[in-house]
Amino acid sequence: MANVTVSLHEKNHIYQAIINYRDENNKRKQKWISTKIKAIRGNKKKALQKAEELKNQFANTLFLQEQLVQSQFRKKLHEINPYKHYDETISFFEYIKLWIDKVKNTIEPTTYAVHMQMIDFRIKNYFLENPVSLLDLKPRHIQNFYDFLLSEHLKPSTIIRYHAIIRKSLQYAFQQDLILNNPADKVKPPKKNLFVGSFYSEKEFDILFEKSKNDPLHLVILLTAFYGLRRSEVLGLKWSAIDFEANTITIKHTIVEVKLNGKKQILAKDRTKTNSSYRTLPLTKEIIEALNIEKNKQEINRKKLKDKYNTEFEDYICVHKNGNLIKPDYVTRHFPLLLRNNGLRHIRFHDLRHSCASLLLSKNIQMKAIQEWLGHSSFSTTANIYAHLDLNSKILSAEAISSALSFKNL
């Protein structure tokens, strides 16, 4: 395997590991990986150690790739025209497990965790019961799997995610000449259902805010409803993201919960879902007041509980009385209980984000401004989700047509 070297570079006050290597065509290449260590005095030695660790991980990835292509599959059995066929005994499930291990260090930890859940559950169960080798895999096998998922009452949007994983894994096999074509290209996943979310009205919001006053999720609900935040964004909010002098709040840190090897893990990232999700928004006097109340509560709880108070998450805004972080799973489980116990109409927690967009539209806020408020990556995303709610623009269109076309003698 070609030599892999690493060096350090400072970018945006963070040490970056620059990994130098040669690809399969002997071309020089570089890969930048953040060490996530701040470039401040005394951290360089720690960053060098982390860079060396990242280099070794990357080198192992290259080694796995070589093993995948040269050893595991290059048991050449025969040739058909210019195409090469390799180990006919490896099953599709065995292959997709090799593939996910190979790409593990090249994708987000959250993406890897989600992929692993899907592979180790439904893909595993189905293809162990209905085994097929990688070389024998045909579009009908994949289509049968999707039909099975539909029979299990999975949503089309979920099946589309399975299709993305399967297609991506097979595309790698095709690019490496392990298969003659990508059978997933000939399979059409079900069409995604038109999203129609549930929305709270202003009156329902007022009742929710009142009923949740003494609930652990009160501030979480306020911030989510006002800013239309994703669950990962609101739980990732830190006091350091609040500028009380400039009266701004910056959405830049996220918290997600994943399941790896059967155990739930919390992943904190100093990065939002997309670049557009990173946004700075204004604080209103109501939000400032709510934040100050929470800050005082945390100070009181810290003094009251002393060493029993968890200081690990002291920079986080959304924590329990004992300082423990409010976790995504807790929000998902507790929110419907809060609604039910107070006789409120059931909506998903994520529908607070949709309700925010709905209220903005009802107040004649332009779709472009709503896109920026919600942190959508594109205008089309916002428009596709909320265009059917834009009643005000439709009323204006109706009035314009009415004034242009006058029907006097009906």
Q: For residue 89, what are the contacts with CB-CB under 8 A and spacing of at least 6?
A: 133
Q: Which of 25, 54, 72 is the last residue of a domain?
A: 72
- Residue 408 domain-assigned (yes or no): no
Predicted TM-score (pTM) of the model is 0.66
pLDDT at 270: 80
pLDDT at 277: 78
37: three-class secondary structure by DSSP:
strand
Residues 262 and 384 grouped into a single domain: yes
Q: pLDDT for 147-191, tens place per residue? A: 999 999 999 999 999 999 999 999 998 888 788 889 999 998 988
Residues 220 and 292 grouped into a single domain: yes
Question: Are 116 and 68 contacting, i.e. CB atoms less than 8 angstroms apart?
Answer: no
User: Hey, how many other C-beta atoms are within 10 angstroms of the C-beta on 218?
Assistant: 18
Selection from 410, 224, 244, 181 nearest residue 331 by Cα? 224
Residues 174 and 206 grouped into a single domain: no
Residues of the chain with pLDDT under 70: 1-2, 23-26, 64-88, 194-197, 272-274, 276, 379-410
Residues 227 and 373 grouped into a single domain: yes
Residues 180 and 292 grouped into a single domain: no
Q: For residue 131, what are the contacts with CB-CB under 8 A and spacing of at least 6?
A: 91, 92, 93
Q: Which contiguous run of DSSP H or E holds residue 266?
A: strand 263-269
- Residue 400 domain-assigned (yes or no): no
- Residue 409 domain-assigned (yes or no): no
- Residue 259 domain-assigned (yes or no): yes
- Residue 295 domain-assigned (yes or no): yes
Number of domains in the chain: 3
Residues 58 and 171 grouped into a single domain: no
Question: Are 19 and 55 contacting, i.e. CB atoms less than 8 angstroms apart?
Answer: yes
- Residue 239 domain-assigned (yes or no): yes
According to DSSP, the residues that pair with 14 across neighbouring strands are 11, 38
Which of 75-92 are b and which e, b meaning 16 or more Cβ less than 10 Å from the residue's Cβ? eeeeeeeeebbbbeebbb
Residues 303 and 346 grouped into a single domain: yes
Q: DSSP assignment, residue 3?
A: -
Q: DSSP assignment, residue 277?
A: G
Residues 316 and 211 grouped into a single domain: yes
Residues 341 and 233 grouped into a single domain: yes
pLDDT at 77: 33
DSSP annotation string for 387-408: GGG-HHHHHHHHHHHHHHS---
Question: Are 34 and 16 contacting, i.e. CB atoms less than 8 angstroms apart?
Answer: yes
Residue type for position 172: Y
Q: DSSP assignment, residue 133?
A: B
Q: Which of 176, 193, 210 is the last residue of a domain?
A: 193
Q: Which of 48, 72, 96 is the last residue of a domain?
A: 72
Which domain covers residue 156, as residue numbers? 74-193
- Residue 46 domain-assigned (yes or no): yes
Selection from 172, 204, 216, 401 nearest residue 325 by Cα? 216
pLDDT at 71: 46
Residues 320 and 208 grouped into a single domain: yes
- Residue 113 domain-assigned (yes or no): yes
pLDDT at 1: 42
Residues 185 and 256 grouped into a single domain: no
Residues 296 and 389 grouped into a single domain: yes
Q: What is the CATH number of the domain that holds 207?
A: 1.10.443.10
Q: How many CA atoms lie within 13 A of 335 on its CB side?
A: 22
